[in-house]
Amino acid sequence: MQVVPFRTWAEVSRERIAANFHSVRNAVGPAVEVAAVVKADAYGHGSVEVSRVLAAQGAKWFAVSCVDEGVTLREAGIDARILVMADYFAYSRAALVEYRLTPVLHTLGDLRDLDAFARSRNTSLPFHLKIDTGMGRLGTLSGAAEIACAIKDASHLKFEGLMTHFASSADYTRPQTENQMAAFAKVSDSLCALGVSPTYVHMASTNPIAFGRREAWHNMVRPGHALYGYLSPARGAAPHPVLQVSPALQWKARILATKDVPAGSLIGYGGIYCASRPMRIAVLGVGYADGLSHRLSNRGHVIAAGRLVPILGAISMDVTTIDITNCPSLQAGDAVTLLGSEGTVSINAQQMARMAGTISYDVLCGIRTRVKRVYV
């Protein structure tokens, strides 16, 4: 077994990343392109290594949030298409050309500016256009006729994709997703009638894929959370998921010290935990500076020696205290599991998120860079 020389680390399974990708690939079928979302350092899993794994599995598209993320992939040797979904500034336009990145544009002003830039470079650039269909964030609210006119006037751009993003696609208690699909179809159909047709049409991230909203798939989908082993819980009468995925990341930390404390001992900052009995405690080399949420103070759990044990007192910047009274064999240097499984006991990011009052995306993306990533 590999000895990991770190106080806290995250083990990322290449095999599970690949299997999750193929689960998506098989669900949507060969006619639908899969753009793997590796933004935010692949949701904390490491964008470069994850992209290398997926490229080896046949991924032809990757989606990132900003130009810097795209540049990181290019400089690491990733040669697939890279879609930049939420970053379009004047200072980043040169990098789009230099690193062969494809921008998502959100306004017709952006479109005209990019066309002028491409003309000044005597080049032609592909782009995807985002429509705001009810999310209320990025995306144009312009009508089809105005969009078509702007696209036809852009002599140095190639209209490659039309997209939108859903606000509540796992919620089957209200019609917001259906309304967004209808709004998108109205614009898309009108553009086609005006002679403007993109190569790719895409709306669906993980949830519409997972719950089989096939009318949202079109010919490209953008899975993110599913690649890392998670599906959001649905609200209402949702169909059975068409995806089977497994978490790819386990987070571990080593014990720095153990000690026996008497009843009445106060633990940690503020003394917010008072031992009700004699206890054996362990101090872990992980804290909120590593991404373990301070909200888990006095309420979260970790897995120690195959048992679920409580966090005691306040989580500190660099250390966390746990109760190992029922795990007396544990010593300094031994590892415990923050996220993952030991035997029949497991904690996943969704469970940790519920305890911390947040979402699983936040838990995964919040694992800081000083937590070493180890690929297995």
Helix axes 14-28, 47-56, angle to 10 degrees: 50
Catalytic site includes residue 228: no
Cα angle 318, 323, 326 (rounded to 5 degrees) comes to: 145
Alpha-carbon span 335 to 255, nearest angstrom: 6
Burial class (CB in 10 A: 0-12, 13-18, 19+), 261: middle
Catalytic-role residue among 39, 43, 252, 361: 39
* Closest alpha carbon to 160 in 102, 120, 217: 102
Instruction: Report the Cα 118 to chain-centroid distance in Å.
Output: 32
Catalytic-role residue among 60, 152, 259, 269: 269
Burial class (CB in 10 A: 0-12, 13-18, 19+), 43: buried
DSSP letter at 29? -
Q: What is the DSSP string of 217-251?
A: TTTEE---GGGGT--PPPBSSPPPPS------EEE
Catalytic site includes residue 269: yes
Report the catalytic residues: 39, 269
